Amino acid sequence: MSDQGETTIGTVARSIEMLRYFAEHNDTSIKSLSENLGLAPSTCHRLLDLLMREGIVEQDKATRRYRIGPEFFRIAFLVHSHSNVRDIARPHLQRIVERCDETAVLCLYIGATRKLIFAERVDSSHLLRYQLPMNVPMSVLWGASGRSVLAFLPEEEVEAIYASEGAAPASGDPLPDLATLKASLSEIRRRGYATSSGEKIAGAVGVNAPLFGADGKVIGSIGVTVPATRISPEEAVGLAPMICQVAVELSLSLGARRSVLEAQCPALFPELT
């Protein structure tokens, strides 16, 4: 490859790093860019000039700081309008099925109703599998799909959900006392995933890990639903590391920052624990 080609590739790579930094921080200075990206101030100036010509970034004349420009917003809006969480999640669900051949499910938390829905799924190849009730509001307190979300909601929201819940919809298990519930949620946060057996769907074993959005808040979960005749709750735990890994990958694809994920749920990162 020619020196000119290598220079072009280097410029593109550094520009992408800079775009990523702006997407995560919006407002910044030359000094911050230089320190965080490991680039010389002169290099930052040159790249910023290129991006400003296209309207990707702009400079506040009063503060001399740089921020996202109108063209960056326009492109981001176009990308967002042509995609949704379900589309982004599907390849990750397929990856789970390829690794364990069990039905993988994306669950989304609807904050306005404090309910959970099964929003997307990829089925296993097994003839014995569950026909899940898609897009139907369900309890966020019962089942691995819900508790993996509940564990990361604000305490006052957890208490409000608890006050509106009753027995488990499938098993009929009584509502635990609030202290017991909070202890189980603490354990889910400690290990990074939740498991359940027959609470929400009769005869089903679930393993789910939380998903986080660009604002760092929990938005749902991802996991598997397996017939209890094929796997025990204890055996299902063996799927947890893989599900946690995919949950991290999908959260990052949805705009979450790794540093925020590490702070919210360090157990999702085995190298930290």
Q: Under a CB-based contact definition with an 8 Å cutoff, are residues 191 and 147 in contact?
A: no
Domain with CATH 1.10.10.10 in the chain: 3-81
Short-list 147, 152, 131, 140, CA closest to 110: 140
More confident residue, 22 or 220: 220
> Which of the four CATH numbers 3.90.1150.10, 3.30.450.40, 3.40.50.620, 3.40.50.720 does domain 85-272 have?
3.30.450.40
CA distance 257 to 236: 28
Domain with CATH 3.30.450.40 in the chain: 85-272
61-118 pLDDT tens trace: 888 899 988 888 887 766 665 558 889 999 999 999 999 999 999 999 988 889 999 9
Residue 235 CA, chain-centre distance (Å), reads: 25
Residue 272 has pLDDT above 60, yes or no: no
CA distance 105 to 219: 14
Q: Under a CB-based contact definition with an 8 Å cutoff, are residues 149 and 105 in contact?
A: no
At 111 the three-state DSSP class reads coil
Query: pTM of the predicted model, to two decimals?
Result: 0.73
Residue 5 has pLDDT above 50, yes or no: no
Residue 180 has pLDDT above 90, yes or no: yes
pLDDT of residue 94: 96
CA distance 142 to 199: 6
Residue with token string 């209890």: 228
Among 11-15, 147-151, 191-195, 220-224, where is mean pLDDT lowest? 11-15
> Which of the four CATH numbers 3.30.2320.50, 1.10.10.10, 2.60.40.420, 3.40.50.9100 does domain 3-81 have?
1.10.10.10
At 56 the three-state DSSP class reads coil
Among 40-54, 129-143, 217-231, where is mean pLDDT lowest? 129-143
- When mean pLDDT is compared over 6-10, 72-76, 149-153, the highest value belongs to 149-153
Residue 49 vs residues 58, 66, 122, 173: alpha-carbon distances, Å: 9, 11, 45, 63
pLDDT of residue 153: 97
Provide mean pLDDT across the span 185-190. Answer: 96
DSSP E strands, 183-229: 194-197, 204-212, 218-227
Among 28-32, 87-91, 151-155, 230-234, where is mean pLDDT lowest? 230-234
Q: Under a CB-based contact definition with an 8 Å cutoff, are residues 110 and 117 in contact?
A: yes
